[in-house]
């Protein structure tokens, strides 16, 4: 009986050897699971699976006292197009909501909460809001008009 078990084990081991020698090894993740690298399928490993978003660029701003276009630069600086004022910006979070903080060189600090990827809003004073948007202004007006109908 022992000879039969050893013979069957030998045949099984030999079959595994020939299979391994003739087929390419699957890609394994850190946990040793074939077909995945981490939580991403191997087919998607070379592709960006998360949409990219950045706060950098131009934003149309409506403030209770002024209206202008702000540019948020990669070095953390802010410039306004018309008023030529400057500031520093940081992006943080409050309760899971992204929060844009503007520290003006001349005027103090203002904080705006993210409403959407292209929209921040912050309360400046009671019943007084600052609004930042980017993108095509005419497209936004068209979308707003369609939503009202």
pLDDT digits (tens, 9 = 90+) for 11-31: 544 444 444 455 555 454 445
The predicted-structure confidence for 114-140, as pLDDT tens digits, reads as follows: 999 999 999 988 889 999 999 876 545
pLDDT at residue 36 tops 90: no
Task: Return the pLDDT at 116.
Answer: 92
The predicted-structure confidence for 106-115, as pLDDT tens digits, reads as follows: 989 999 999 9
Specify the pTM.
0.60
Cβ neighbors of 81 (< 8 A, separation 6 or more) are 68, 69, 70, 71
Helix (H) or strand (E) holding 2: helix 2-22
Identify whether the C-beta of residue 120 lies closer than 8 Å to the C-beta of residue 114: yes
Q: Give the residue from 80, 81, 84, 119 showing the smallest Cα distance to 100.
A: 119
Most confident of 2-6, 31-35, 89-93, 139-143: 89-93
Q: Hey, where are the domains in the chain?
A: 2-44, 57-135
Largest separation between any pair of C-alpha atoms in the chain: 94
The predicted-structure confidence for 59-91, as pLDDT tens digits, reads as follows: 999 999 999 999 999 999 999 999 999 999 999
Task: Return the pLDDT at 100.
Answer: 95
**Secondary structure letter of residue 30 according to DSSP:** T
CA angle 117, 89, 100 (to 5 degrees): 40
Q: Show the DSSP H helices in 23-136 as ranges.
A: none
CB atoms within 10 A of CB 130: 20
Task: Return the pLDDT at 25.
Answer: 53
CATH topology of domain 57-135: Lipocalin (2.40.128)
Task: Return the pLDDT at 85.
Answer: 94
């Amino acid at each position: 009986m022992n000879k039969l078990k050893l013979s069957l084990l030998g045949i099984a081991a030999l079959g595994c050897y020939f299979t391994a020698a003739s087929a390419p090894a699957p890609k394994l993740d850190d946990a040793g699971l074939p077909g995945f690298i981490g939580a991403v399928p191997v087919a998607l490993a070379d592709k960006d699976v998360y949409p990219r978003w950045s706060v950098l660029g131009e934003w149309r701003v409506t403030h209770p006292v002024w209206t202008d276009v702000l540019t948020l630069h990669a070095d953390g600086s802010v410039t306004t197009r018309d008023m030529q004022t400057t500031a520093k910006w940081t992006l943080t979070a409050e309760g899971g909501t992204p929060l844009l903080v503007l520290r003006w060189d001349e005027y103090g600090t203002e904080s705006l909460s993210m409403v959407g990827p292209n929209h921040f809003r912050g309360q400046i004073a009671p019943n007084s809001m600052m609004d930042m948007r980017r993108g095509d202004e005419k497209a936004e007006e068209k979308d707003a008009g369609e939503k009202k109908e």
